[in-house]
Amino acid sequence: MSPLPYEIALALRYLRPKRTFVSIITLICVLGVTLGVAVLMIVIAVMTGFGEQLRERILGFNAHIRVEATGKPLSDWRTVAATISSNASVRAVAPYVHTQVLMETQPEKGNPRPFAPVLRGVDPLLEPRVSEVPAGMISGSFDVGPNKVLIGVSLAEALALKVGDSLAVYSLPALKRMHEAWEAGRKEVDPPQKFHVAGVFDAGLYQLEMSSMLTGLGDAQDLHGIEDNVTGITVMLHQPDMPTTTRVHQQLTAALGSEFQVISWMQDNRQLLGALVVEKNMMFYLLFFIVIVAAFGIMSALITFVVQKTREIGMLKALGATPVQVALVFLSQSLVVGVVGVISGFALGWTGIRFRNDFLHFMNETFNLDLFPPELYQFRELPARIVTSDVVIICGGSLVICLLAGIVPALRAAWLQPVQALRHE
């Protein structure tokens, strides 16, 4: 005697491979559920990893909150910094200067190459408290002394720059003075300032590495022509989650008044992070149709099976089986197919996530492809993160869909009358 209820035992017996067409359909249904669960797991894990790593990279290089004066440089920034630091949720503050410059490489051989980054002036003593750039140096050192700059690794690779190379820097005030002089008929030339590459950092985001460079606060103030003023103040929080950031944003806005702009990291990156959330939800709903298609396959297979097993169903009912017991036999079949498919899909999805970058490198090297260009996706490696709640929703939802697929065949078998089933026996 089987220790299992006879409904489940009979369902397992019916599902044993018998080299029939129905068995092939059942195998296809299991594969459909497996692929649906695996693809859902991989895509949702990658989308989650994208969102979290993008947020970490952004917060590692940029501020949790920025405070700037409305429409002008921030003059009395030390008093403003003291007011901000009095908030219990603030971990550290530091001044910064943002200025657009035109730079030109000075190679020993070949032609100079121009580019126009945003030069960010920082305080070398305070910046390590509000940024991960000092910890992300991959060559050189975090040295923002006079006439020294730090560049991102992507920009260094694109322009073939290394530590010690020289750069010619044209500031906007200097270009404006030359333009005014030429319009007045005076042939004046304001020579560029010479800077040297002191270090190369890895910010983890291609766009940030290509568009931003760091220098000392004094050099940035001279280039921008704002004397001892700054562009704003970087504010880092103990906990930069959304509720805390929103609360501190409101508190600082009330404390500083309307003369200042308080900008949170959520406002700076609202469109980008919002697009990721929408894409993740859309991918989830669209890919779930793979499981739904597999469920229709299960329903088709079970309907065919009910027709083939009409005689057996009639005998079960003649021997005293209730409609509920007969229905449970076929519901158990759909449940077993769903369980096997979900477990296989989970294993396949976890394996795909575990070896995603190995597979990516293999495809790139074997077929000479660039399946994950960093200039488009911002990352050099494919990020992923498995969230337990996502896995529960995917696996549980797939199992429920598979179980629902067996309702129609189960009801068809339950309504079958013994007389009709055995009429031609």
Give the mean model confidence (pLDDT) for residues 392-418: 89
Alpha carbon 371 to its chain centroid, in Å, reads 17
pLDDT class of 6 with cuts at 50, 70, 90: low
Instruction: Report the half-sphere exposure of 252 (CA within 13 A, side-chain side).
Output: 34
Q: Cβ–Cβ contacts within 10 Å for residue 217, how many?
A: 22
SS3 68: strand
Q: Are strands 148-152 and 193-201 parallel, antiparallel or unpaired?
A: parallel
Decide which of 11 and 359 is more confident. Answer: 359
* Mean pLDDT of the chain, nearest integer: 86
Q: Give the position of tokens 């990291």.
A: 265
pLDDT in tens, 50-77: 888 888 888 877 889 999 998 888 988 9
Q: Give the position of tokens 């003291």.
A: 82
In the chain, what is the greatest distance between 2 CA atoms, to the nearest angstrom? 113
Pair 340, 17: CB distance under 8 Å: no
The DSSP-derived string for 151-177 is EEHHHHHHHT--TT-EEEEEEHHHHHH
In this prediction, what percent of the chain has a pLDDT beyond 90? 38
What are the residues whose beta carbons fall under 8 Å from the beta carbon of 157, sequence distance 6 or more?
none
Query: Range with the lowest mean pLDDT among 184-193, 194-203, 246-255, 413-422?
Result: 413-422
Query: What is the model's pLDDT at position 420?
Result: 65
Q: Are strands 166-171 and 193-201 parallel, antiparallel or unpaired?
A: antiparallel
Q: Is the predicted pLDDT of residue 320 greater than 90, yes or no?
A: no
pLDDT class of 201 with cuts at 50, 70, 90: very high
Q: Is the predicted pLDDT of residue 35 greater than 80, yes or no?
A: yes
User: In whole angstroms, what is the distance from residue 365 CA to residue 368 CA?
Assistant: 5
Decide which of 363 and 139 is more confident. Answer: 139
Residue-level length of the chain: 425
User: In whole angstroms, what is the distance from residue 295 CA to residue 352 CA?
Assistant: 23
pLDDT in tens, 262-308: 999 888 888 877 888 888 888 888 888 888 888 888 888 888 888 88
pLDDT in tens, 227-245: 889 999 999 999 988 889 9
Q: What is the signed CA dihedral for 330, 336, 339, 344, rounded to 10 degrees?
A: -130
Give the mean model confidence (pLDDT) for residues 89-112: 90
Give the mean model confidence (pLDDT) for residues 181-200: 84
Q: Helix count (H) and strand count (E) of the chain?
A: 18, 11
Q: Is the predicted pLDDT of residue 21 greater than 60, yes or no?
A: no
In this prediction, what percent of the chain has a pLDDT beyond 70? 92
Q: Is the predicted pLDDT of residue 381 greater than 60, yes or no?
A: yes
Query: What is the model's pLDDT at position 1?
Result: 47
Query: What is the model's pLDDT at position 37?
Result: 94
* Residue 196 β-bridge partners: 148, 166
Query: What is the model's pLDDT at position 173?
Result: 82
Q: Give the position of tokens 């060559």.
A: 139
Q: Is the predicted pLDDT of residue 20 greater than 60, yes or no?
A: no
